Amino acid sequence: MKTILVTGANGFIGKALYRRLVEEGLAVRAVGRSAVPGCTSIGPIDADTDWSAALDGVDSIVHLAARVHVMRDREADPLAAFRKVNVEGTAKLASEAARRGVRRFVFVSSIKVNGESTRDGTPFQADDPPAPTDPYGLSKYEAEQVLLRLAGETEMEVVVIRPPLVYGPGVKANFEAMIRWLMRGVPLPLGAIRNRRTLVALDNLVDLIITCVRHPRAANEVFLAGDAEHLSTPELLRRLGRALEVQPTLISVPVWLVEVAAAAVGKRAVARRLCGNLEIDISKARRLLDWSPPVTVDEGLRRVASHYLQRQS
């Protein structure tokens, strides 16, 4: 049986992908930076990582392992730190995989390669000119370029997937913070925001990844991941509140005042995400792969809420 190698298999996306692949009866080899049940440690990921044992008998790879975006990076040179893992580490794995005859390499990148925000009514497209603005987004773009060049020089097929914010059972960071705000009944000054943002449910992203492993027309293409709906921040909070069975308290405060107040407490980036647009057009995946998100936004939010409430009980 052909084996699929999943890197970063002990992460938020990796765990869900691993479970789905196993449920489908596929042979999966899971590796991560640390050893956990079912996942072999590969150690630090950089230009010197030894992938030889992990690649034995592998037909395809889903590369999730990365140095992820952080709001307050403590590295003296964040770009160098991102490049070490996301560019040099990816290049080492991919070049070794191509040498060993791996058929397909699916790279989970980031919508940050496209940019930080969109204009009203103009969503990001998969084939838009890249416009990364921070070290993380730049490192992901550079990794994509390395992989696509390698695909042109070898027989290995490369597929790039750029997801936005991923939500699902066990989600952390800002999304979990929103859940806590809602559960505590905190009044939120976000009622006047009229933005449009695309998120992606964890199960939808996993489904797209598996489609990209299998589908012949995915070879050497870039796809954007996303749910079937765009939501405003107030609409997201209302629908998440409904899933949690709580009523959000949304106060209509001018957007400029929200942004000024957030900047004053060092949360400018958070305000940009809450107030700004980030629309994604997933039509390329629909057209080439005949793929549609199998999970609705409301079902995705229900799964998040159910997991959170069970954990609190």
| 136 among known catalytic residues | yes
**Neighbour tally for 61: CB within 10 Å:** 27
**Neighbour tally for 270: CB within 10 Å:** 14
Long-range pairs for 145-152 at CB < 8 Å and ≥24 separation?
146/87, 146/90, 146/91, 146/94, 147/90, 147/94, 147/105, 147/107, 148/220, 150/91, 150/94, 150/95, 150/98, 151/105, 151/220
Q: 136, 141, 167, 308: which is the annotated catalytic residue?
A: 136
**Neighbour tally for 24: CB within 10 Å:** 9
Phi-psi region of 238 (alpha: psi -120 to 50; beta: other; left: phi over 0): alpha
Query: Cα separations (Å) of 227 from 86, 168, 293, 297?
Result: 26, 12, 6, 7
Provide CB contacts within 8 A for 188, sequence distance 6+: 181, 237, 248, 249, 250, 251
Residue 227: both structure tokens together:
């749910």
Give the three-class secondary structure for 172: coil
Identity of the amino acid at 42: I
Residue 171: both structure tokens together:
């989600």
Cα separation, 196 vs 118, in Å, equals 9
Cα separation, 79 vs 167, in Å, equals 26
Please report which helix (H) or strand (E) contains residue 236, including its range.
helix 233-244
Name the residue among 59, 47, 70, 31 with its Cα closest to residue 269: 70
Catalytic residues: 136
